[in-house]
């Protein structure tokens, strides 16, 4: 394993050791001794791995796109492996596979859980579940920056106002992201406290929201978000994982503001407002609007949590919203709205060019003077194709191993989009603990694929099968 991969993963192992140390302190302070040894083991293992990864290696290896992809993929397997230690040594007698399933679900911010009753869990373990999502969220953001050349050349240009892609400044840029991510988490925590959620719930939910995760400190969100006012506030807080992480940064700190820096977020805002109006017109008579707003923002941000009385008959609509996703540089998953927008515009322009060959149609933002590049259009088409193939594959595999087709289809999309099952998708009573081992392994693999995108894995496969 080369120096770059070791250093990249080492940072997150050290961060994981800090989170496990926090759990040790929390457990001692509140006399929660059930899992304290497991957190100590986790701390010890992660700090040793993290520190040893920074032992000087005189051999400098060129950082290639392949080493970046390998680093990201290895992290999605190794870090959840360490995260699973407290689950394995807990009093709940979970098998290793169940522990790994829970940790991958948390780290990928998916939210599937093998625990049937959260109220029965030790408080420190609930915090551990939330922190696994939190570190997974920032790992995902770092991965986007690392693999941005694969995903999108055009959107990379829009990030240059606050991020330098010069590797000599990697530490400075990474620290900037970490500080911003932490500051937004604290803001969410403070806001949740202001609407009278208890401290423990506010802390855990803040980490859930910022990471676009699905783990909750309670069995039913309706038990703590129990008024229309709280529903509305909570709904808008979930948009923090829908818009770009740097939206607030741009608003507060950019001296010379330009539409170039806000273009994606403006498009996302327009899209959100249109959906809000449509839902208000067509569904406000059947359901409480605050509940509709909550379900809509939860799906758009890929968090996926909902109330027990959420409109399950609209599951196809909500799944479509889940697939579209949010901002390119957010913790939400999905194909991404701008990709779909550009594909639609490109396809429309191609059709019009055949009917009116004398006219010239350009593929560019309406808000900025920048054309979308043909190379990115090709990537977008490939992303959609890969997604369709992935949904077909996971749906077929889950159906083969005993899950009915409709549930397999829904779970396939939610797994790839890293969105928790809930009443919105008519899956709130699904029991992951009793799934057979093959189904769990399939979902583990596809949860990771959903985070790194199958396109990156295909690049690695091409590298080793078709060596040039």
Q: What is the mean pLDDT of residues 344-357?
A: 75
Q: Is the dihedral of CA 326, 329, 335, 339 positive or negative?
A: positive
More reliable by pLDDT, 389 or 353: 389
| Winning range, highest mean pLDDT, from 22-31, 198-207, 371-380, 450-459 | 198-207
Q: What is the C-alpha separation between 239 and 246, in angstroms, rounded? A: 13
- What separation in angstroms does the CA of 3 have from each of 62, 303, 321? 10, 35, 40
User: Are the CB atoms for 307 and 222 separated by under 8 Å?
Assistant: yes
Q: What is the C-alpha separation between 310 and 288, in angstroms, rounded? A: 9
Token readout for 377 is: 């259009």
- Cα-only R_g, the chain: 22
5-62 pLDDT per residue, tens: 888 899 999 999 999 999 999 999 888 888 899 999 999 999 999 998 877 655 455 6
User: Are the CB atoms for 349 and 361 separated by under 8 Å?
Assistant: yes
Q: What pLDDT score does 382 carry?
A: 83
Q: What is the C-alpha separation between 133 and 204, in angstroms, rounded? A: 10
Token readout for 447 is: 């949860």
What percent of the chain is modeled with pLDDT above 70? 83
- What separation in angstroms does the CA of 456 have from each of 174, 211, 354, 382, 462? 22, 22, 34, 12, 10
Residues in contact with 19: Cβ distance below 8 Å, sequence separation at least 6, in sequence order:
131, 134, 135
Which residue's structure tokens are 């992303």?
A: 383
Say yes or no to pLDDT of 226 above 70. yes
Q: What is the mean pLDDT of residues 181-189?
A: 95
Token readout for 423 is: 């009443």
Q: What pLDDT score does 74 carry?
A: 92
- What separation in angstroms does the CA of 336 have from each of 149, 151, 307, 326, 343? 16, 11, 25, 6, 11
Q: How many CB atoms lie within 10 A of CB 135?
A: 20
User: Are the CB atoms for 135 and 141 separated by under 8 Å?
Assistant: no
Q: What is the mean pLDDT of residues 236-260?
A: 78
Q: What is the C-alpha separation between 214 and 8, in angstroms, rounded? A: 26
What is the band of 167 on the pLDDT scale with cuts at 50, 70, 90? Answer: low
- What separation in angstroms does the CA of 66 have from each of 60, 349, 450? 16, 35, 19
| 3-state per-residue secondary structure call for 127-195 | HHHHHHHHHHHHHHHHHHHHCHHHHCHHHHHHCCCCCCCCHHHHHHHHHHHHHHHHHHHHHHHHHHHHC
What is the band of 321 on the pLDDT scale with cuts at 50, 70, 90? Answer: very high
Instruction: Pick the closest to residue 450 from 366, 263, 325 (CA basis).
Output: 325
Say yes or no to pLDDT of 412 above 90. yes
Residues in contact with 375: Cβ distance below 8 Å, sequence separation at least 6, in sequence order:
153
* The model's pTM: 0.92
Token readout for 247 is: 């939206």
- What separation in angstroms does the CA of 311 have from each of 212, 224, 299, 425? 21, 19, 12, 9
Q: How many CB atoms lie within 10 A of CB 369?
A: 8
Which of 18-22, 121-125, 271-275, 382-386 has the weakest average pLDDT?
A: 382-386
Helical H segments across 195-227, by residue range = 199-210
Length of the chain equals 468
Q: Provide DSSP, 370-384.
A: -BPPHHHHHHHHHHH
Q: How many CB atoms lie within 10 A of CB 352?
A: 12
Say yes or no to pLDDT of 164 above 80. no
């Amino acid at each position: 394993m080369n120096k770059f991969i070791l250093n990249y993963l080492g940072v997150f192992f050290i961060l994981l050791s800090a989170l496990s140390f926090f759990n040790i302190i929390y457990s001692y302070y509140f006399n929660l001794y059930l899992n304290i040894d497991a957190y100590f083991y986790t701390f010890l293992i992660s700090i040793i791995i993290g520190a040893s990864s920074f032992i000087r290696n005189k051999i400098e290896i060129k950082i290639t796109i392949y080493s970046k992809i390998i680093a990201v993929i290895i992290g999605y397997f190794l870090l959840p492996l360490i995260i699973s230690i407290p689950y394995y040594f807990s009093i709940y007698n979970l098998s290793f596979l169940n522990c790994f399933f829970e940790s991958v679900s948390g780290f990928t911010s998916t939210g599937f859980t093998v625990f049937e009753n959260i109220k029965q869990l030790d408080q420190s373990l609930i915090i551990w579940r939330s922190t696994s999502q939190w570190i997974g969220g920032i790992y995902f953001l770092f991965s986007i920056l690392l693999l941005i050349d694969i995903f999108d050349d055009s959107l990379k240009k829009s990030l240059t106002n606050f991020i330098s892609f010069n590797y000599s400044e990697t530490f400075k840029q990474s620290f900037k992201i970490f500080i911003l991510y932490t500051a937004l988490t604290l803001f969410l925590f403070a806001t949740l406290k202001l609407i009278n959620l208890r401290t423990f719930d506010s802390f855990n939910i803040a980490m859930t929201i910022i990471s676009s995760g699905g783990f909750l400190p309670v069995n039913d969100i309706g038990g703590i978000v129990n008024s229309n006012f709280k529903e509305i506030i909570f709904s808008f807080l979930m948009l923090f994982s829908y818009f770009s992480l740097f939206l607030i940064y741009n608003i507060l700190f950019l001296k010379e503001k330009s539409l170039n820096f806000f273009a994606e977020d403006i498009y996302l805002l327009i899209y959100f407002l249109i959906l809000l109006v449509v839902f208000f017109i067509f569904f406000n008579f059947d359901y409480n609007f605050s509940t509709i707003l909550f379900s809509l923002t939860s799906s758009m941000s890929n968090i996926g949590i909902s109330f027990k009385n959420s409109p399950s008959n609209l599951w196809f609509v909500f799944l479509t919203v889940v697939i579209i996703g949010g901002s390119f540089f957010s913790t939400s998953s999905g194909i991404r709205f701008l990709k779909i927008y550009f594909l639609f515009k490109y396809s429309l322009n191609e059709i019009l060019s055949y009917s009116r060959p004398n006219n010239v149609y350009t593929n560019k933002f309406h808000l900025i003077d920048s054309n979308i590049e043909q190379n990115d259009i090709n990537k977008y088409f490939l992303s959609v194709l890969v997604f369709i193939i992935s949904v077909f594959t996971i749906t077929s595999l889950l159906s083969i191993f005993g899950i009915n087709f409709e549930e397999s289809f829904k779970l396939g999309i939610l797994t790839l989009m890293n969105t928790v099952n809930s009443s919105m998708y008519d899956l709130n009573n699904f029991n992951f603990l009793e799934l057979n081992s093959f189904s769990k392994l399939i979902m583990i693999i596809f949860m990771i694929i959903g985070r790194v995108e199958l396109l990156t894995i295909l690049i690695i496969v091409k590298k080793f099968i078709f060596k040039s």
